[in-house]
Structure 1
Amino acid sequence: MSVLYLVRHGQASFGTDDYDRLSDLGKEQSRITGRFLAAQGIEPDRIVHGEMLRQRQTAEGLLEGMGLSMDAHVDSGWNEYAAWELTGVLDDVDPRAKHDSKIFQGELERGAARWASGEHDEDYRETYNQFTSRVDRALDDAVAAMGSGQSTIVVSSAGAIAWTASRLIGGDFDQWMAFNRVTINTGITKIITGQSGTSLISFNDHGHHDPKNATYR
């Protein structure tokens, strides 16, 4: 069997003028996760991340924590959806959403339901169906690139990881949103693949973090 580890990026910079960068805690979360993976005897053959800065910085922290030096592969298929675009087209958005993550989550879920309905596709640069299709392709490519017994670490974001997990258990939009809602920064989702197919083994494992340092944004 081959193993794919999906790692969500570390805590980013919510509430600032540039969300797409890790906070100091996010960088430390990445190093801690790398040390945890190394302690489990995991020696990846490849590491892949999306194009986003927070994803690249997390991959760098993982490698530092694991004590590895290797070139990462960039696959835009693992990019996150445009969350601010989903909320930006809504009427009467709560202005506190820019700085209050709980309020933002509620508005995001309202925007995601509108996005996924398919009734307003002209309002988005990427439709919900286009998003899920590109994540599907990224997963298929990551699996295809592994030889028997190899392992790959993929650094991505909550939406892409949640969709992958939902797809593998035959879930729909509601299942995706339920996973998306609880995905923790640098949580680890484990997938195995072999002759019997590709299967979800565990989702969002975050036992390597002190509970007080568990973050969602």
Structure 2
Amino acid sequence: MSHITLIRHGQANTNARDEAEYDRLSDLGHQQAAWLGDHLRATGSHHPRCFCGTLTRHIETARGMAVGDAIRDERLNELEYFTLSQLLQEQHGVDIPQEREGFITHLPKVFTAWESDALEGAPESFRAFETRVSDALREISEGSGAALVVTSGGLIAIALRRLMELNMPATARVALAIMNTSMHRLFPIGAHLSPVLFNAVPHLETPERQFAQTHF
């Protein structure tokens, strides 16, 4: 079993109000990806395999890191948060926040409604999402050599939920904490993967780069 380093994509379009608008990196997102790639090379990090989702922000992040050709796997794509939010508003009257701080209370409501199958017409069920994430990461871990996986914050949070048996409120807090281009390492201990690194951004810790420690 090989270890996996999950990486959240760089900052995307923060002014987006739907899935299509969100799915591209901002100028800062491109810079974050380049800095992370530079850090990995400077520290001699060896990852013979690289994977990413098929979303534009995943592909742009992997390309900006310049760590080699990434194998694209749609199972590593993010949940459709904007779509789920629209369904929650239409079916349960929960307004979509207009400011970033509003998502602190909004995201747990979306996740809870989705998990309990309370969103009619969701693009995929919560259980289907969990299953595809688990299947993809299991297959990657069974390969030879350490792997980088460029994906999204929601997917990383759900992966940690499965590994750590987190309840939904805790999962939501994890999702809210995850920064752009942060690293999260899953290491084989016994017969299972276990988290040994969470939300690391060493490439953004110098004083002149701390402004780039973004969540949205």
TM class by shorter chain equals: 0.7 to 0.9
162-171 or 3-12, larger mean C-alpha shift: 162-171
1:178 aligns with 2:166: no
1:43 aligns with 2:38: no
| 1:104-127 CA distance string (max 9 Å, x none) | 44333322211111244x321201
Q: What corresponds to 1:188 in structure 2?
A: 183
Matches within 5 A, 1:26-175: 26-63=29-66, 68=67, 70-91=68-89, 92-94=93-95, 97-98=97-98, 100-120=99-119, 122-145=120-143, 147=144, 150-175=145-170
Identity %: 30
TM-score normalised to structure 1 length: 0.87
- For the structure 1 residues 114 and 196, does the alpha-carbon distance in structure 2 shift closer, same or farther, using more than 3 Å as the test? closer
| 1:120-172 CA distance string (max 9 Å, x none) | 4x321201111111111111111112x2xx21100000011111122222223
Give secondary structure in 1 for the equivalent of 2:32.
helix
- For the structure 1 residues 173 and 104, does the alpha-carbon distance in structure 2 shift closer, same or farther, using more than 3 Å as the test? closer
Structure 1 runs not aligned, ≥5 long: none
1:208 aligns with 2:203: yes
Q: Answer yes or no: is the 8 Å Cα contact 2:49–2:147 preserved in 1.
A: yes
- Give the Cα separation in 2 of the matches to 1:110 and 1:46: 36
Aligned Cα root-mean-square deviation (Å): 1.9
22-31 or 189-198, larger mean C-alpha shift: 189-198
TM-score normalised to structure 2 length: 0.88
Q: What corresponds to 1:10 in structure 2?
A: 10
Give secondary structure in 1 for the equivalent of 2:202.
coil
Cα shift at 1:84: 0.7
Structure 2 runs not aligned, ≥5 long: none
17-26 or 46-55, larger mean C-alpha shift: 17-26
- Give the Cα separation in 2 of the matches to 1:130 and 1:16: 26
